[in-house]
Chains A and B, each alone.
Chain A
Amino acid sequence: MTAEGQRRRAFWQILLFAAGLFVLTAISAGSVYLVNKAREDSKWVIHTIEAQNQINALLLEIRRAESTARGYLLTRRSDFKADHDKAVAAIVPALDRLTRLTGDNPQQRKSIETLSSAIETRLGQFAQEMEFIRQDQPEKAAALVSELASADTTAAIAEVATGMLREEERLFRLRTVNSDRSQTLAASMTGIGSGLVVVLALISIWLVRRSARVRDEAEARLRDANLNLEAVVDERTADLREANDEIQRFAYIVSHDLRSPLVNIMGFTSELEELGGDIFRRIGSLSHAPAEGAPLAPAGPGEIALEGADKQLQEDFSEALGFIKSSIAKMDRLISAILNLTREGRREFQPVKVDTRELIEAIVTTLAHQAAEAQAEIHVEPLPALVSDRLALEQIFSNLIDNAIKYLKPRVPGEIRIRGRTKLGYAIFEVSDNGRGIDPKDHQRIFDLFRRAGTQDKPGQGIGLAHVRALVRRLGGTMSVSSELNTGSTFTITLPIAWNVSNRNRDR
């Protein structure tokens, strides 16, 4: 999975999301708009129907007024008169309502003006009729009625009203079509929008599934890589272990085989020394014989003093042999040290619970004599207990404390302190002294085999710290030193609190 692909996928997902959001907003806005429009259209349709109704109602009232007027004229019954009055009274409000309803349409307004003037005329005629009847001149009224029937006022009213009705009919049709269109639009918009959203959702799901698949593949690859890594690490560890074992074997064999010729060198040097002794005795006896004037008895064990050049020869001889012997002794010590180190490296560690303080106090007791000689005081503070190899711990601490006593400043009372604490599953021990200290440039060197630092006024092979560090490492810990010349040294050892043999065995 490349970063480029990842970015592209993320971009597409964001784009899809944005598109979906946009479509949804557009649909919502469009729907709101269209629904409002449809409502408006419906309102206008209803308005048209109302106007139609109102025209019809107006016409009805006029007819009613006409018919009741006629009824009253013929029968003179007062209930016709009452009905006529009611009808006449209803005409004006009906006309007013119609005027209000059709106020939006200029054409209708013109028709209304015509209509209202016609109606006004008609109302005047009704009033005249009623007046004649009241004055008891029915023939005049009848004449008026018949005259009126032939006159065009009624026809005009009817014509205008029909025109208005037709106009309203036209508007009704128009507005119905409008309303229908709005509703269809709203419906189709919602439909198309929903479809789009569904399509976007499908694309989104597809994208998500694809990225999930890619992620699963990546996870699988990662798992494989991890397994592979573990295998590689195991392999490397095995290689390292083998190399380490090889070095151990090598060191063991080399030191062992170096020893064999050394036995010869030492042996024959001693033989040579003895031969040399014999030779010089003989020389001595030969050079002394004439002086004493009597043949010397076979060379006895007693030393015969030599003189002059002979003495010089004997001294040179002994000196050469002395150097050879001391070199051999030194070489033997070094070889023994390597042997011991490799042997230590091969020893199986046994983790046991160790009371560190007790262990260190026991070491301090065995070193009490040296400490007293160096006027050193050793303070052991409370120390954490741990599970580790007891013998190794003994060697580590006795080496460090021994060093601390050995390298104190002359004529300064020594103070050696052993502190301990725990941190994150590790026990940290500090062995500090106020001794001569170690130059910082030698801090690495002192841990090397056969290397020492500072004034070489104390016996030693340069093995102790190398050994201690090897032990600490085998116990799964680390070791460091902080020191300045003349201000003392602090050796810090970090060891796992619960070192277990299974770790070790796995490492081996």
Chain B
Amino acid sequence: MTQPVTIIMVEDDEGHARLIERNIRRSGVNNEIVSFTTGTDAMRHLFGADGSGLVQKGNALLILLDLNLPDMTGIDILKQIKENKYLKASPVVVLTTTDDSQEIKRCYELGCNVYITKPVNYENFANAIRQLGLFFSVIQVPPAAP
């Protein structure tokens, strides 16, 4: 039996986190969502105390990442995830206010799977998240590594 996918949300703004979670739930996705408001906490959870990522071995993850974090940039986190052998297969969705084309390009180069700009217009925002939720419901996360 496949293990349920856990959604890891790294988002410093609790309001954004709440809005995202709410809209994901509205789209009918009921997977567990684990939120972190700082990069350090997220890194500890993802890579474990030893930083090897062994703790997540065998877990199916989907990572929602904000780029503007108070203690580090999301780009660093993205880079480390994609360089770690236990985590690199997990899809990463970058969800941020930055719509700078250079930054978008850089994220895709580093292995980000989806890049979404948070629109201020709430309709669009809600739509984007709901569609992301739909996307989650059909996405096939690779089976946990043995």
Interface residues of A (CB under 8 A from B): 256-257, 259-264, 266-271, 328-329, 332, 343
How far apart are the CA atoms of A263 and B117 in the complex, in Å? 11
Asked whether A260 and B122 contact (CB < 8 A) given A267-B19, A268-B19, the answer is no
A–B complex contacts, Cβ < 8 Å, 12 sampled: A262-B120, A263-B97, A263-B119, A263-B125, A266-B121, A267-B19, A267-B122, A270-B123, A271-B22, A328-B120, A332-B120, A343-B100
Question: Which residue of chain B is the closest to A268 with respect to CB atoms?
Answer: B15
B122-146 CB mask vs A (1 if < 8 Å, else 0) is 1101100000000000000000000
CB <8 Å contact, A260 and B19 = no
Docked complex: B9-52 residues within 8 A CB-CB of A: 13, 15-16, 19, 22
B residues contacting A by CB (< 8 A) are 13, 15-16, 19, 22, 68, 97-98, 100, 118-123, 125-126
By beta carbon, the residue of chain A nearest B101 is A343
A264 near B123 (CB under 8 angstroms)? Answer: no
In the bound complex, CA of A228 to CA of B22 (Å): 64
- In the complex, what residues of A have CB within 8 A of residue B119's CB? 263
A395 to B142, CA, bound (A): 48
Known: A256-B97, A332-B120. A267 touches B125 (CB 8 A): yes
Q: Total contacts A to B, CB within 8 angstroms?
A: 50
B121 near A264 (CB under 8 angstroms)?
A: no
Main secondary structure of the interface of A (DSSP, over half): helix
* A261→B19 CA distance, assembly (Å): 12
Flag if A256 contacts B98 (CB, 8 Å). yes
Minimum-distance CB pairs A-B, first 8: A264-B15, A270-B122, A267-B19, A332-B120, A266-B122, A259-B97, A267-B122, A263-B118
* Nearest CB of chain B from residue A228's CB, rounded to whole Å: 40
Q: Which residue of B lies closest to A262 (CB)?
A: B120
Task: Tell me if B120 and A259 are in contact (CB < 8 A).
Answer: yes
- In the assembled complex, the Cα of A332 lies from the Cα of B119 at a distance in Å of 10
Which A residues touch B22, using CB under 8 A? 271
Residue of A nearest to B15 (CB): A264
A17 to chain B, nearest CB (A): 75
Beyond A256-B68, A269-B122, A270-B122, whether A264 also contacts B98 by CB under 8 A is no
Pair B97/A260 contact, Cβ less than 8 Å: yes
Closest-CB distance, B24 to chain A (whole angstroms) = 13
Beyond the given pairs A263-B120, A264-B15, A267-B125, 8 more chain A to chain B contacts, judged by CB atoms under 8 angstroms and listed by A's residue number, are A259-B97, A260-B16, A263-B16, A266-B120, A267-B19, A267-B126, A270-B122, A329-B121
Q: Looking at the assembled complex, report how far the CB atom of B73 sits from the nearest CB atom of chain A, in whole angstroms.
A: 13
Q: Which of A256, A260, A270 contacts B126 (CB 8 A)?
A: A270
- In the complex, A329→B121 CA distance in Å? 8
CA–CA, A270 to B127, complex, Å? 13
From B126, which residue of chain A is reached at the shortest CB distance? A270
Central interface residue in A256, A260, A269, by most chain B CB within 10 Å: A260
Alpha-carbon distance A268/B13, docked complex (angstroms): 13
Closest B residue, CB atoms, query A267: B19
CB neighbours (8 Å) of B125 from chain A are 263, 266-267
